[in-house]
Amino acid sequence: MKDKLQSRIGLCQRAGKLVAGDEGVLKAVRSQEAKLVIVATDASDNTRKKYRDKCNSYEVPLIEVLDRYTLGHCTGKDLRVVVAVTDEGFARIIEESAKQNTEVDGIE
């Protein structure tokens, strides 16, 4: 299941529908361009709080999945702590894959 999530994030990156980096993601959230924000599970508490608060303010869905190295690997970089999906369709399928991951993780 995690492979499916990772491949969907990678596909989103290759389609040019992913914004990475702190400033880019914040700008996408503020402009309502972001349809989903993904924060790495091993991000600092401050980073997770900052994005949770910002996404709540702008009503942008946020999920915490994968560690920074795996998230980076999906996007073809060394590491990524936060990315924003700017396409509604990609956001929906990535969110769906993330939910399936947590359901599978909960069973094991």
Pick the residue with more confidence: 98 or 107? Answer: 98
Per-residue model confidence (pLDDT) at position 99: 87
What confidence tier does 2 reach under pLDDT thresholds 50, 70, 90? low
Each domain of the chain, given as residue ranges in start order, spans 2-107
- The C-alpha atoms of residue 68 and residue 92 are separated, in whole angstroms, by 21
* The CATH fold of domain 2-107: 60s Ribosomal Protein L30; Chain: A; (3.30.1330)
Using one digit for the tens of pLDDT, what is the confidence trace for 17-71? 999 999 999 999 999 999 999 999 999 999 999 999 999 999 999 999 999 999 9
- For the entire predicted model, the pTM comes to 0.91
- The C-alpha atoms of residue 98 and residue 70 are separated, in whole angstroms, by 14
